Amino acid sequence: MKRTGPTNPVLQGLIHELKKNSSEQSVSLWKRVAVDLERPSRQRRAVNLSRINRFAKENEVIVVPGKVLGTGTLSQKLTIAAYQFSKGAKEKIEQSGSIAVSLTDLSKGNPKGKGIRIMG
């Protein structure tokens, strides 16, 4: 049986938009994020806040092509973009003074992908 990819229409739209943005801007970052999102949901990345805090630097822009989970704390100000955030993760991100944004907003705000780091 042939794998069909995600059936969620919102996710399909996001993947299509990221691929289109990648080809228009000649930026491979957005294509890589789109390919990661095409994986089955059990193989998508899930990253805890503790891991983000350990490896990220102050004021960095982090992209998680999957879900951000709320285990751990953030001790620095970051901009975190992901497909999904757990409820606890979103609360902890806002408490630390960091910003949680959707992948769509980040790709529109930074189409060239400058200064972005993929984590997961």
Residue 2 lies in a domain: no
Residue 67 lies in a domain: yes
User: Strand, coil or helix: what is 20?
Assistant: helix
> How far apart are the C-alpha atoms of 69 and 49, rounded to whole Å?
6
Average pLDDT over residues 18-36: 93
Residue 3 lies in a domain: no
Residue 53 lies in a domain: yes
- Residue 76 sits in a domain whose CATH number is 3.100.10.10
> How far apart are the C-alpha atoms of 47 and 67, rounded to whole Å?
6
Structural domain for 75, as ranges:
9-118
Name the band, by pLDDT with cuts 50, 70 and 90, for residue 5: confident
Is pTM, for the whole model, over 0.85? Answer: yes
Residue 93 lies in a domain: yes
State how many domains the chain has: 1
The residue assigned the tokens 């390919």 is 35
At 92-105, the pLDDT tens digits run 999 999 999 999 99
User: For 113, left (φ over 0), alpha (ψ -120 to 50), or beta?
Assistant: left
Residue 107 lies in a domain: yes
Residue 16 lies in a domain: yes
